[in-house]
Chain A
Amino acid sequence: MNINISNTNSDPIYLQIADQIKALILEGKLKEGEMLPSMRNLALELRISFMTTKRAYEELERSGFIESYTGKGSFVKAQNLELLREEQLKAVEALLAEAGDRARKIGLTVDELHELLDLVNGGE
Chain B
Amino acid sequence: MNEYENAIEISGVTKRYEGFTLDNVSFNVPKGSIMGFIGQNGAGKTTTIRSLLNITNIDEGEIRLLGLEHVKDEFEIKKRLAVVFDELPFHDVFNAADMARIFEGLYPEWDNAAYSAYLERFKLPPKKKIGQYSKGMKMKLQIACALSHNAELLVMDEATTGLDPVVRDEILHIFMEYLQNGERSILMSSHITGDLEKIADSVTFIDKGKILLTGYKDVILETHGILKCGKDELGNIDKADIVSVRLNEFGAEVMLSDRESARYKYGGAVIDTASLDDIMLYYVHKGEMGWS
Listed in ascending order, the chain A residues whose CB lies under 8 Å from chain B are: 10, 12-14, 40-41, 43-44, 47-52, 55
Binds A, one of B37-45, B147-155, B177-185: B177-185
Contacts of B198 in A (CB 8 A): 47-49
Is the CB–CB distance between A44 and B180 below 8 Å?
yes
Set A12, A13, A14, A43: member contacting B176, Cβ < 8 A: A43
Interface residues on B, range: 20 to 34
Q: Which 7 A/B pairs are nearest by Cβ-Cβ distance? A: A51-B201, A44-B176, A49-B201, A40-B180, A12-B222, A47-B198, A52-B218
Set A41, A43, A44, A51: member contacting B217, Cβ < 8 A: A51
Is the CB–CB distance between B201 and A50 below 8 Å?
yes
Whether B216 is near chain A, meaning CB under 8 Å from some CB there, is yes
Contacts of A14 in B (CB 8 A): 218
Contacts of A55 in B (CB 8 A): 218
Q: How far is the CA of A52 from the CA of B200 in the complex (A)?
A: 10
Distance of A24 from chain B, by nearest CB (Å)? 22
Q: How far is the CA of A50 from the CA of B179 in the complex (A)?
A: 9
Q: How far is the CA of A50 from the CA of B216 in the complex (A)?
A: 11
Among B33, B176, B200, B202, the most chain A Cβ lie within 10 Å of the Cβ of B176
Is the CB–CB distance between A44 and B201 below 8 Å?
no
Distance of A13 from chain B, by nearest CB (Å)? 7
Distance of A63 from chain B, by nearest CB (Å)? 18
Set B177, B216, B218, B221: member contacting A44, Cβ < 8 A: B177
| A-contact 0/1 string along B166-181, CB 8 Å cutoff | 0000001100110110
8 extra A-B contacts, CB within 8 A, seeds A40-B180, A47-B176: A12-B221, A14-B218, A43-B199, A44-B173, A49-B201, A50-B34, A50-B179, A50-B201
Q: How far is the CA of A69 from the CA of B33 in the complex (A)?
A: 20
Is the CB–CB distance between B217 and A49 below 8 Å?
yes
> Who on chain A is nearest to B196 by CB?
A49
